[in-house]
Structure 1
Amino acid sequence: MILEVILKEFTNLNLVKGNPSTSIEYIWSDSRKIQKNDLFVLSDEFTDVQFMSSAIQNGSNTCLISKSSNLLNIAIEKFDNVLTCNSSANQMQGKIASLLLDHPSLKLEVIAVTGTNGKTSLTHILYHFARSLGIPSGLIGTIHTKFNDTILETGYTTPDASSLQLLLKKMLEDGIKFVFMEASSHGLKLGRTDGIHLRAALFTNLTKDHLDFHKTMEDYLLSKFRIFTLLDESNKENKFGIVNLDAEGGEQVKALIEKNSVQSNIKYLGKNCTYDIAKPEISINGSEFIFKIKKSKSTFYRNLRIRSILLGGFNIANVALALSCWVELNIETEKLTTFTESIPRIPGRFDIYYNPDKDRIAIVDYAHTPDALLNILISAKELNPRKLICLFGCGGDRDKTKRPEMAEISERIADLVVLTSDNPRTEEPESILDDIEKGFKDKSKIIREIDRKKAIQVAISKLQAGDILVVCGKGHENYQIIGKEKFHFDDGEEIEKAW
């Protein structure tokens, strides 16, 4: 494709230097991925001039840069062709990548899920429904990307914009019809999801997290809300959004939807909404609830009894959101109710390990935010353990403000708390535990053990018949990051060794 075609498609781009007949193969913001005739994006956070030289050496003669960038003159000096944009270069990358690949998402049904917690669980539940319906589907998220027999480790919840468009193209070529994608706040803010034509956008909740990146809750909220801006920009027909109104952040998102006059069809899950939940029941064998669907232009609801092996009130909300999505996609509700009973366990999400000989339960969960920890402990408490033990740590080089909050929550609900390392990264592990410990009033409820393996052994040694241990923070992860090195570590494996 030549630059002239790209310029005609995007009126906010200007060719300030070069030839509009220049051929462009693809687009990257990573100079290491550049090949001959690729367009190099100088992303908004771009600071290292050496990457320009690297991109040119790898075959690029054209760059895209924001016209407000202080590196514009250097880019003009180095590249034969220079495109400027009036807005964010990050947000243009995905749109141009989509154009270069003939918009793969337009030929797919892409369902994107955002929220602090629940993204992985909800996308897996949606994926289960699709597979049960016989629909070829793909999954993009925290644990992995998978479609047909392909499983990829992308390294991010939401891959970079160019990689994401290539993934969608590959899925399309492999016969995939539906794609269920986690949209992280980082991905939304950095433009990784721009250029994707969404069929649906789902919002789970918004609680404190990632303030090391967003700095304020307002920025975090606005980043999550961008999913509905992308939904409005989508050229898909019959597009829709669903918001969990009863969850934290639901009312804030609704207010933004109304303030910004979102044009897409938005439905809500919550009291007196199109979809609702009633009579939730949770036991060690699973959960049940009444899923309520309000008939169009009526005050009456259709009630469906739903059963699932997934535990926890948060998973009831996830299943209800998934059901709401498929109802909006015009799938018969009778089919959906049968599929809920066969939803498989989701790796590292309320993942139960049971020792029948000693009648002890350990639960592994990815909970690493105050709200997620609260929900997981409440759900474990609902199983009526004789004693509840919580093991957790906090990631290093990440938001420090949540550390004492998580301490307060664990002290309030658990009978005993074992503090240990999560992924300390380059922070001193003892210093992280000191920060957490500041949130405790009663230090007698704490056991400190930096070594996570030993901490799990200590926690299990405290378990008696009828007790439950909740191991939080790492979930599906099979590694631990200490310093700048990654070591194999799996909570589930260590639990089974320690039984």
Structure 2
Amino acid sequence: MAVGGVTGTNGKTTTAFLLHHLLNHAHRRCGLLGTVVYDVGGDLKPATHTTPESLELQGLLSEMRDRGCVAVAMEVSSHAIDQHRTHGVPFAAAVFTNLSQDHLDYHGTMEEYFKAKSKLFSSTAASRSGKLVINVDDIWGRRLVDAHKEHPGLVTYGLGVAADYRAVNPRYDLTGTSFELEHKGRSLLVRIPQIGQFNVYNSLAALAAAHGMGCNLRDTVKAMQSSPQIPGRMERVTPDNHSFHVFVDYAHTPDGLVNALSTARALRPERIITVFGCGGDRDRLKRPLMARAVEEHSDISILTSDNPRTEDPQAIMDDARKGFTRSAHALIADRKEAIHTAIKGAREGDIVVIAGKGHEPYQDVQGVKHPFDDRRVARQLVDIEIRIKGEKRLEARQRRDDRQ
């Protein structure tokens, strides 16, 4: 099977989903392994890890082969690379999205984090036929490009003029994004149902990888129009005609938050209200950086609990709040209450971003996973607010009629 591996701090899930979609569209039955779900030739299984442990991974690949898959799109985490979970998997294409601060509780330094990621490209480059698909706009990506500039399968993507797959003139609205793809003198119009500049990068990565794995470029560009909504990735949970909009996103790093909130800002809202938290038993150094990112890119910041795991939620919030420089923020440990506060306070034209957990249907507290889905909770609270406002309008109308 031709395996496309996607690594990087942000964008792995979306890029893998898009690559899976493009390969399937090209009639190359494709499996999917990643953070959200495992698609084993049409049989969907709950994901246990972003990249499964080695024995589980080989078992899943075997099932895919037996079900007729000829290709696989998979997320490859730095933990998986460092722990040799993907050892022996011959990657037809390795994709690098970006690198920013995360997992330093495991790797210790950014340099070690980068070294772990770079091993995927060294192993793929060992095969002269392997494709290296690298974001040349990212500083760490440029280091990878320099390290493999003699490799015949190296291709780059980005917004700059040096990229082999380049996006120009991007346009964003609530229904999606469009841009012109320039590649080897050709220009093709790309339309995707996802929003935001970071999804321009994700779609470029998927297009370049699919093309490198043998798909026709024009056909893959056309197929992007029907690509799926990625669960919990800037997923809109309010109807089109609602007075304000609520998005749920998995952003749980400083850079991921900047990307999500910059996407929201590009839609020109009246205000951005952000609900976010920091995960327990993870890199503590990024917590104040996350608060600073939210404060800089939001009008109202609400810090709450994410997945505290074995830590005290209040202690996590105390770490994060050190990143705030202004007093215009709220601390609400109860996540449902925090989301409700944001929705109750939203006015016409506002955007509410609920960040951190994305597609996750649970909240991990002291080793127990309690049912909690940001998307479901937000929809319920929006419906309640719609009903309350409707009842108030009806009461006001009845009072006017009584006076008349």
Q: Same fold (TM over 0.5)?
A: yes
Q: Is residue 40–residue 63 contact of structure 2 (8 Å, CA) maintained in 1?
A: no
For the pair 1:191 / 2:84, whether they are aligned, the reply is: yes
Partner of 1:400: 284
Partner of 2:399: none
- Tell me: CA distance 1:358–1:268, structure 2 relative to 1, closer, same or farther (3 Å): closer
Partner secondary structure for residue 148 of structure 2: helix
Displacement of 1:332 in angstroms is 2.4
Partner secondary structure for residue 168 of structure 1: helix
Partner of 1:474: 357
Cα distance in 2, alignment partners of residues 194 and 281 from structure 1? 41
Which sits farther off after the overlay, 402-411 or 217-226?
402-411
Partner of 2:95: 202
Residue deviations 1:106-146 (CA, integer Å, cap 9, x gap) = xx100101000011000100111122222211000101111
Partner secondary structure for residue 493 of structure 1: helix
- Which amino acid is the alignment partner of residue 420 of structure 1? T
- Tell me: CA distance 1:358–1:164, structure 2 relative to 1, closer, same or farther (3 Å): closer
Q: Is residue 125–residue 131 contact of structure 2 (8 Å, CA) maintained in 1?
A: no
Displacement of 1:256 in angstroms is 3.5
Residue deviations 1:232-276 (CA, integer Å, cap 9, x gap) = 345xx7321110111342112223335xx7x46211113323221
Q: Is residue 241–residue 264 contact of structure 1 (8 Å, CA) maintained in 2?
A: no
1:128 to 21, 40, 53: 21
Listed as ranges, the gaps of 5+ residues in structure 1 are: 1-107, 295-300
Q: Is residue 107–residue 113 contact of structure 2 (8 Å, CA) maintained in 1?
A: yes
1:449 to 329, 332, 353: 332
For the pair 1:343 / 2:227, whether they are aligned, the reply is: yes
For the pair 1:363 / 2:247, whether they are aligned, the reply is: yes
2:367 to 484, 493, 499: 484
TM-score between the two structures when normalised by the length of structure 2: 0.91
TM-score between the two structures when normalised by the length of structure 1: 0.74
1:180 to 59, 73, 81: 73
Partner of 2:183: 293
Displacement of 1:358 in angstroms is 4.6
1:256 to 147, 151, 163: 147
For the pair 1:238 / 2:129, whether they are aligned, the reply is: yes
Displacement of 1:324 in angstroms is 1.2
Cα distance in 2, alignment partners of residues 113 and 282 from structure 1? 25
Partner secondary structure for residue 369 of structure 2: strand
Cα distance in 2, alignment partners of residues 154 and 339 from structure 1? 26
Q: Is residue 197–residue 233 contact of structure 1 (8 Å, CA) maintained in 2?
A: no
Displacement of 1:355 in angstroms is 4.3
Partner of 1:269: 157
- Tell me: CA distance 1:195–1:356, structure 2 relative to 1, closer, same or farther (3 Å): closer
Partner of 2:210: 326
Which sits farther off after the overlay, 271-280 or 390-399?
271-280
Partner of 1:45: none
Listed as ranges, the gaps of 5+ residues in structure 2 are: 383-404
For the pair 1:112 / 2:16, whether they are aligned, the reply is: no
Partner of 1:282: 172
Residue deviations 1:130-182 (CA, integer Å, cap 9, x gap) = 22222211000101111233112241111111221121111111110010010
Cα distance in 2, alignment partners of residues 167 and 495 from structure 1? 34
Structure with greater contact order relative to length (CA < 8 Å, sep ≥ 6): 2
Over the aligned positions, Cα root-mean-square deviation in angstroms equals 1.4
Residue deviations 1:382-425 (CA, integer Å, cap 9, x gap) = 00101100110000111011111111111111000011000001
Q: Is residue 125–residue 132 contact of structure 2 (8 Å, CA) maintained in 1?
A: no
1:430 to 299, 302, 314: 314
- Tell me: CA distance 1:130–1:356, structure 2 relative to 1, closer, same or farther (3 Å): closer
2:272 to 385, 388, 392: 388
Partner secondary structure for residue 166 of structure 2: strand
Cα distance in 2, alignment partners of residues 356 and 119 from structure 1? 28
Residue deviations 1:44-84 (CA, integer Å, cap 9, x gap) = xxxxxxxxxxxxxxxxxxxxxxxxxxxxxxxxxxxxxxxxx
Residue deviations 1:167-214 (CA, integer Å, cap 9, x gap) = 111111111001001000000011001110111101000111000000
Partner of 2:118: 225
Partner secondary structure for residue 341 of structure 1: helix
Partner of 1:494: 377
- Which amino acid is the alignment partner of residue 129 of structure 1? L
Partner secondary structure for residue 191 of structure 2: strand
Which sits farther off after the overlay, 470-479 or 154-163?
154-163
Which sits farther off after the overlay, 162-171 or 268-277?
268-277
Cα distance in 1, alignment partners of residues 60 and 240 from structure 2? 43
Displacement of 1:220 in angstroms is 0.2
- Which amino acid is the alignment partner of residue 131 of structure 2? F
Sequence identity, in percent? 38
- Flag the structure with larger Rg: 1
- Tell me: CA distance 1:404–1:180, structure 2 relative to 1, closer, same or farther (3 Å): same
Displacement of 1:357 in angstroms is 6.2
- Which amino acid is the alignment partner of residue 19 of structure 2? L
Which sits farther off after the overlay, 321-330 or 276-285?
321-330
Displacement of 1:292 in angstroms is 0.8
Cα distance in 1, alignment partners of residues 242 and 216 from structure 2? 44
- Which amino acid is the alignment partner of residue 201 of structure 2? A
Q: Is residue 225–residue 256 contact of structure 1 (8 Å, CA) maintained in 2?
A: no
Cα distance in 2, alignment partners of residues 150 and 340 from structure 1? 23
Q: Is residue 288–residue 307 contact of structure 1 (8 Å, CA) maintained in 2?
A: yes
Cα distance in 2, alignment partners of residues 357 and 199 from structure 1? 44
Cα distance in 2, alignment partners of residues 416 and 365 from structure 1? 17
Q: Is residue 119–residue 204 contact of structure 1 (8 Å, CA) maintained in 2?
A: yes
Displacement of 1:472 in angstroms is 0.3
